[in-house]
């Protein structure tokens, strides 16, 4: 795991600028650094040594030095690919996966991407062609940003490195702000910095004298295979997950595992056989603290658990640093918990396994139970639409939202796991005017790719392409790298996805079998059964446990005078006055404090942006 920066070389002091850019991402690779500069390109790399510790330094080259690579990630099947390249006549100088990429590109071109199993973001400079090739992994686990300003094409693992380049112009993308207010993350390929872009997952680019070209090289294809019975799917999931976890343990250093009380991380920890697990929580309330459960689980599987209780002071005190490392504002409260669990893990090792991706791939979010979940769903949509429109005009009242949501198609109501401000609400809240599209225009391209599929599949497909890359994987990469820790995600594996996309919907989200009389549905149904099969009997109850994620008590904190005052100060600041109608912000805060309604997530969305803005536009040094 590492980080890289680079730019097309049009400046006189490239070595000095490159060094400053590399320092901005030192946290991604504290073990070493390397540079390559010629008349056309400047490449810089920061290294966290995981594989071939002694000889795996970057940048790395092919035999004649005509190809130069900088790489962030891990290729889990690099040894198998290497064997084929050796047979084809390639000569290797190291045992690293990085060198497999550069020789693989030399041999196969962009087709090398279809042979890879792993998480990756890399750039290859072809000296002979004066051509730059860049690629990002299938799911977007590893980041790649780029900007073309004043004749300089910049690229790298984190946007903050661009701040050190003399041609970089720092401007807020106000359209991104309006989109963010609905999604709680930046949902498009644009970023919060004007003219800075993300390379989408499963895409590669070519940059040469003729311009910039971007192309998709892989996509998810949900095609249910109705023939196998449930037990066969369970066995297939078990076999595939064992294989994936084993592949994700490839390392020359020790590997540990995160552990919450949910089935995803518990499943990975149970079959990984690692020696150490890590858990965090808040206070003593079991709604916010899973430490006791994690210690019990770890003891049952014979592993050591390290835990930490995060105090409110620690949580609120670290927020500027969190937003600095994110590069773009993210209003997911669990990001802070993830930072701290990465922090305690980094004190003992360099690599951890985690459970990200299971919900998107196997159908785990509670909202996936919504389609067809009630007798009301049998009422014709035309009638439900009329009832929904009527209810939307009535004063807010408990139960009305059910009829409003049921009066919309999934394409009309679902934009992902977070829906903060409606288009009307964000327009009223903002002083600035932007051309931000309606949320449905952003989700429509993904829905069009699964037209004709059932609603659960549509929701999963959307989350795989928007929510997972924009929120889940952003915080996973940034919070782990902020602590110089490599985080690996065995669920986000091509082989796991190839299996999961064939599982019928009834085995992903089902209502046909209940764990007790209160349960109305079961998410990740087949995967939970596989987890029960592979989890020790005394701890198998986790497979039936309701999903919590990283529960954070911000709703409670925001009603305490101390933290209410902290937020109110931000909501009445000069920055807030510049972008928002602050009287509406204060009303959101007051209504929450007075328990008129729970506005905690909306408050947190705006508050997180204001913290981020202060860090990147009002401060001059790292948070």
- Rg of the chain over Cα atoms, rounded to whole angstroms, equals 24
- Collapsing DSSP to helix, strand or coil, 358 comes out as helix
The Cα 546–Cα 462 span in angstroms is 22
Most confident option among 182-191, 269-278, 386-395: 182-191
Per-residue tokens: 128: 């002979």
> What's phi and psi for 599, nearest 5 deg?
-105, 15
Class in CATH terms, 2-216 = alpha beta
Residue 28, C-beta contacts closer than 8 angstroms, at least 6 positions apart? 1, 2, 3, 46, 48, 72, 157, 158, 481, 484
Across 258-266, average pLDDT: 88
Which helix H or strand E contains 149, and what residues bound it? strand 145-149
CA distances to 237, 268, 271, 333, 598 from 534, rounded to whole Å, are 11, 10, 7, 31, 40
CA-wise closest residue to 337 among 300, 283, 375: 283
pLDDT digits (tens, 9 = 90+) for 211-235: 999 999 999 999 999 999 999 999 9
The pTM (predicted TM-score) of the whole model is 0.93
Mean pLDDT of 592-621: 94
Give residue 393's Cα distance to chain centre. Answer: 37
Percent of the residues in the chain that have a pLDDT greater than 90, as a whole number: 77
Question: What are the structure tokens assigned to 266, written together?
Answer: 């518990």
Give the list of residues 6+ apart from residue 135 with CB closer than 8 angstroms, or none: 110, 113, 120, 121, 122, 144, 199, 203, 204, 205, 217
Q: What local confidence, expressed as pLDDT, does residue 515 receive?
A: 44
pLDDT at site 295: 85
452 backbone dihedrals φ, ψ, rounded to 5°: 95, -15
Q: What tens digit of pLDDT does each residue of 414-443 get? A: 999 999 999 999 999 999 999 999 999 999
Mark out the alpha helices in 327-438 (DSSP H runs).
334-346, 358-362, 381-392, 400-406, 410-413, 423-429
Q: Which residues pair with 98 in a beta bridge?
A: none
Residue 378: pLDDT band (50, 70, 90) is confident
Sequence ranges of the chain with CATH classification 3.60.20.10 = 2-216
Nearest to 103 by CA among 53, 55, 69: 69
73: left (phi over 0), alpha (psi -120 to 50) or beta: left
Structure tokens at 192: 């919060």
Question: Which of 2, 214, 342, 391 is flagged as catalytic?
Answer: 2
- Share of residues in the chain with pLDDT > 70 (%): 93
Higher pLDDT, 44 or 260: 44
Would you say how long the chain is, in residues? 623
Give me the residue label for tokens 């401060």.
Answer: 619
Which pLDDT belongs to residue 453? 96
Average pLDDT over residues 195-199: 98
Give the pLDDT of residue 11. Answer: 87
How many other CB atoms are found less than 10 A from the CB of residue 484? Answer: 18
Alpha-carbon dihedral 465, 467, 468, 470, rounded to 10 degrees: 90
Q: What is the pLDDT of residue 516?
A: 46
Cα 131 to Cα 207: distance, rounded to the nearest angstrom? 6
CA distance 284 to 287: 9
Residue 557 to residue 593: CA distance in whole angstroms: 9
- CA separation for the pair 596, 424 (Å, rounded): 21
| Pairwise CA distance, residues 596 & 27, whole Å | 43
pLDDT tens digits for range 15-24: 999 999 999 9
* Dihedral sign (CA 597, 600, 602, 606): positive
Contact partners, residue 102, CB within 8 Å, separation at least 6: 60, 61, 62, 67, 68, 69, 124
pLDDT for the residue 297: 85
Q: Which residues pair with 135 in a beta bridge?
A: 122, 204
Taking phi first (over 0 means left), then psi (-120 to 50 degrees means alpha), and beta for anything else, what does residue 89 get? left
Mean pLDDT check: name the lowest of 132-146, 303-317, 390-404, 557-571: 390-404
2 counts as catalytic: yes
For residues 9 and 504, the model is more confident at 504
Residue 511: the pLDDT is: 65
Residue 57 scores a pLDDT above 60: yes
pLDDT grade for 373, boundaries at 50, 70 and 90:
low
Instruction: Answer for the pair 490, 244: CB distance below 8 angstroms, yes or no.
Output: yes
Q: Where in the chain is the domain with CATH 3.40.50.620?
A: 230-364+466-540
pLDDT tens digits for 83-135?
Answer: 999 999 999 999 899 999 999 999 999 999 999 999 999 999 999 999 999 99
For 504-545, what is each residue's pLDDT tens digit? 999 999 865 444 435 566 899 999 999 998 887 655 555 445
Among candidate residues 400, 411, 512, the one with its CA nearest the CA of residue 458: 411
Q: Which two tokens stand for residue 106?
A: 């030399």
- pLDDT of residue 606 exceeding 70, the answer is yes
CATH of 230-364+466-540, one of 3.30.360.10, 3.40.190.10, 3.40.50.300, 3.40.50.620: 3.40.50.620
Phi-psi sector, 150: left (phi>0), alpha (psi -120 to 50), beta: left
Distance CA(109)–CA(107), nearest Å, equals 6
> CA dist 416 to 280, 394, 420, 601, Å?
26, 26, 11, 15
């Amino acid at each position: 795991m590492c980080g890289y920066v680079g730019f097309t070389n049009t400046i006189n002091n490239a070595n000095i600028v490159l060094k400053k850019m590399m320092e901005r991402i030192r946290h991604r690779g504290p073990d070493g650094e390397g540079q390559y500069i010629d008349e056309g390109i400047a490449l810089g790399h920061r290294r966290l040594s995981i594989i071939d510790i002694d000889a795996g330094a970057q940048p790395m080259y092919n035999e004649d030095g005509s190809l130069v690579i900088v790489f962030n990630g891990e290729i889990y099947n690099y040894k198998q690919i290497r064997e084929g390249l050796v047979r084809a006549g390639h000569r290797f100088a190291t045992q690293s996966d990085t060198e497999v990429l550069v020789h693989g590109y030399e041999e196969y071109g962009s087709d090398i991407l279809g042979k890879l199993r792993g998480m990756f973001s890399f750039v290859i400079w072809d000296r002979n062609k004066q051509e730059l090739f860049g690629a990002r992994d299938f799911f977007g686990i590893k980041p790649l940003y780029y900007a073309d300003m004043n004749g300089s094409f910049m690229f790298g693992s984190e946007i903050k490195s661009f701040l050190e380049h003399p041609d970089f112009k720092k401007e807020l993308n106000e359209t991104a702000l309006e989109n963010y207010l609905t999604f709680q993350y930046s949902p498009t390929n644009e970023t919060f910095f004007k003219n800075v872009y993300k390379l989408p997952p499963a895409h590669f680019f070519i940059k040469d004298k003729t311009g910039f070209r971007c192309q998709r090289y892989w996509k998810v294809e949900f095609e249910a295979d109705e023939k196998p019975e449930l037990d066969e799917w369970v066995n297939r999931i078990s076999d595939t997950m064992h294989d994936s976890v084993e592949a994700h343990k490839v390392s020359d250093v020790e590997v540990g595992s995160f552990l919450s009380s949910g089935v995803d991380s518990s499943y990975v920890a149970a079959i990984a056989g690692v020696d150490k697990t890590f858990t965090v929580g808040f206070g003593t309330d079991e709604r916010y603290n899973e430490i006791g459960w994690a210690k019990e689980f770890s003891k049952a599987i014979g592993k050591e658990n390290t835990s930490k209780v995060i105090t409110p002071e620690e949580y609120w005190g670290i927020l500027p640093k969190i937003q600095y490392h994110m590069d773009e504002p993210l209003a997911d409260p669990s990001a802070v918990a993830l930072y701290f669990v990465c922090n305690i893990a980094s004190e003992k090792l360099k690599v951890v396994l985690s459970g990200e991706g299971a919900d998107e791939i196997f159908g785990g979010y509670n909202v996936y139970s919504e389609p067809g979940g009630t007798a009301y769903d049998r009422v014709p949509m035309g009638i439900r639409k009329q009832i929904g429109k009527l209810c939307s005009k009535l004063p807010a009242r408990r139960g009305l939202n059910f009829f409003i949501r049921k009066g919309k198609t999934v394409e009309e109501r679902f934009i992902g796991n977070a829906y903060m401000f409606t288009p009307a609400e964000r327009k009223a809240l903002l002083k600035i005017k932007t051309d931000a599209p309606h949320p449905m225009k952003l989700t429509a391209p993904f829905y069009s790719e699964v037209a004709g599929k059932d609603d659960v599949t549509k929701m999963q497909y959307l989350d795989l392409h928007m929510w997972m890359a924009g929120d889940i994987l952003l915080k996973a990469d940034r919070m782990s790298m902020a602590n110089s820790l490599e985080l690996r995600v065995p669920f986000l594996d091509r082989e796991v996805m190839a299996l999961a996309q064939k599982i019928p919907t009834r085995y992903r989200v089902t209502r046909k079998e209940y764990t007790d009389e209160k349960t109305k549905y079961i998410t990740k149904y087949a995967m939970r059964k596989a987890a029960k099969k592979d989890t020790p009997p005394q701890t198998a109850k986790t497979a039936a446990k309701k999903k919590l994620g990283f529960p954070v008590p911000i709703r409670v904190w925001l009603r305490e005078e101390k933290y209410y005052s902290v937020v109110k100060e931000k909501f009445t600041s000069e920055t807030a006055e510049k972008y928002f109608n602050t009287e509406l912000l204060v009303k959101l805060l007051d209504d929450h404090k007075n328990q008129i309604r729970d506005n905690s997530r909306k408050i947190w969305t705006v508050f997180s942006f204001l913290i981020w803005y202060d860090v990147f536009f009002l401060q001059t040094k790292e948070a």
